[in-house]
């Protein structure tokens, strides 16, 4: 490698990995397909490796390409973070520019929108990028600027504020209970449809410590989407775990066996310590912390 490799080659490489074809990568990047092809050929030549093999279903990444993916994603996150930082300094210390936030599906859809709407009223030049995922986004690699987490961050480079405990309990729609009866004890749950996760994750493992009765085998309706589970409960499909504060907003949802099925989600708002001095990140951090704290209470 006699000369450095341009970022645009890695960007195209990552797009091909994500889209599975040159045409898909070209569309996502706003370039032509021949240009995307030339980028891949140039990168393979510079690295002296083969990155893709052609098949009837598109381009298949080689083992080398799969090994390089995490590095390309890190480069992409860094470039996006650089752009957000630059836009935030375009006009001195005013609150403007992009801030990327990560939150779980339910929190992102049911809790954050009014907080962010009020924040944008105060700072109209602020741009919000909201990432809804139950995966813990990497704050150290700047995949996001701020994250709402249900677990205390352990990295010392992160600024974290505990915003309270969100209680979760077992709920069902009134119509469901009218048809099938209200369970008065744990044994009675055998006669009911229960909504839960399909694949175990950190949340399920933590919940199972205090709710050993709940396992995948007991779930008649399974989904790894928090929003899908909430929709099923609201539709009267069965019983399921729901944040108590959310259920209180809907008179049709009834809490069941509250003394048995209850646990608390420790909730934190976190960001990288390097962003402490950023006016836009500080404004978003404080707004999220205050808003979620009110919701938790």
CB within 8 Å of 273: residues ≥ 6 apart = 157, 158, 159
CB within 8 Å of 38: residues ≥ 6 apart = none
Residue 51's nearest CA partner among 97, 101, 5 is 5
Please state, for a pLDDT cut of 90, what percent of the chain lies above it.
43
Residue 103 Cα to chain centre, angstroms: 5
The pLDDT of residue 86 is: 63
| Domain pair 7-84 / 95-161+267-296, same fold | no
The pLDDT of residue 84 is: 62
Between CA 111 and CA 156 the distance in angstroms is: 28
pLDDT band at 81 (very low <50, low <70, confident <90, very high): low
Q: What topology does CATH give the domain 7-84?
A: Arc Repressor Mutant, subunit A (1.10.10)
- The 10s digit of each residue's pLDDT in 125-149 is 999 999 887 666 555 566 788 999 8
Judged by average pLDDT, the poorest of 76-80, 157-161, 162-166 is 76-80
Structural domain boundaries in the chain: 7-84, 95-161+267-296, 165-265
Q: What angle do CA 24, 46, 82 make, to 5 degrees?
A: 65
Does the pLDDT at position 92 exceed 50?
no
Task: Note the CATH architecture for domain 95-161+267-296.
Answer: 3-Layer(aba) Sandwich (3.40)
pLDDT band at 185 (very low <50, low <70, confident <90, very high): very high
- Pairing assessment for the beta strands 146-149 and 195-196 based on DSSP bridges: unpaired
Residue 243's nearest CA partner among 229, 224, 259, 223 is 229
- The 10s digit of each residue's pLDDT in 233-284 is 999 999 999 999 999 999 999 999 999 888 888 899 998 887 878 888 999 9
Q: What is the average per-residue pLDDT within 176-191?
A: 94
Residue 292's nearest CA partner among 116, 172, 125 is 116
The pLDDT of residue 35 is: 92
Task: Note the CATH architecture for domain 165-265.
Answer: 3-Layer(aba) Sandwich (3.40)
pTM exceeding the 0.85 threshold for the entire prediction: no
Residue 282 has what DSSP assignment?
Answer: H
Residue 292's nearest CA partner among 113, 95, 127 is 113
């Amino acid at each position: 490698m006699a000369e450095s490799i341009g970022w645009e080659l890695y960007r195209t490489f990552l797009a091909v990995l994500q889209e599975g074809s040159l045409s898909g990568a070209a569309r996502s990047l706003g370039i032509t397909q021949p240009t995307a092809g030339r980028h891949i050929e140039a990168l393979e030549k510079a690295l002296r490796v083969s990155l893709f093999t052609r098949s009837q279903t598109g381009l298949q990444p080689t083992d080398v390409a799969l090994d390089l993916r995490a590095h390309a994603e890190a480069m992409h996150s860094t470039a996006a973070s650089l752009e957000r930082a630059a836009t935030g300094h375009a006009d001195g210390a005013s609150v403007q520019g992009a801030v990327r936030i990560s939150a779980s599906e339910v929190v992102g859809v049911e809790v954050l929108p009014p907080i962010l709407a009020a924040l944008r009223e105060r700072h109209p030049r602020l741009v919000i990028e909201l990432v809804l995922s139950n995966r813990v986004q990497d704050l150290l690699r700047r995949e996001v600027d701020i994250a709402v987490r249900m677990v205390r961050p352990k990295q010392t480079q992160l600024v974290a504020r505990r915003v309270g405990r969100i209680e979760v309990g077992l709920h069902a729609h009134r119509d469901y209970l009218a048809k099938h009866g209200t369970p008065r004890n744990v044994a009675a749950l055998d006669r009911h449809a229960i909504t839960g996760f399909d694949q175990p994750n950190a949340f399920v493992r933590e919940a199972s410590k205090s709710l050993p009765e709940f396992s995948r085998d007991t779930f008649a309706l399974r989904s790894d989407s928090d929003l899908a589970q909430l929709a099923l409960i609201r539709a009267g499909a069965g019983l399921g775990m729901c944040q108590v504060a959310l259920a209180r907003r809907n008179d049709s949802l009834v809490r069941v066996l509250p003394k048995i099925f209850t646990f608390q989600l420790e909730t934190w708002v976190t960001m990288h310590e390097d962003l402490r001095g950023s006016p836009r990140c500080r404004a978003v951090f404080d707004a999220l912390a205050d808003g979620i704290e009110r919701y938790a209470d």
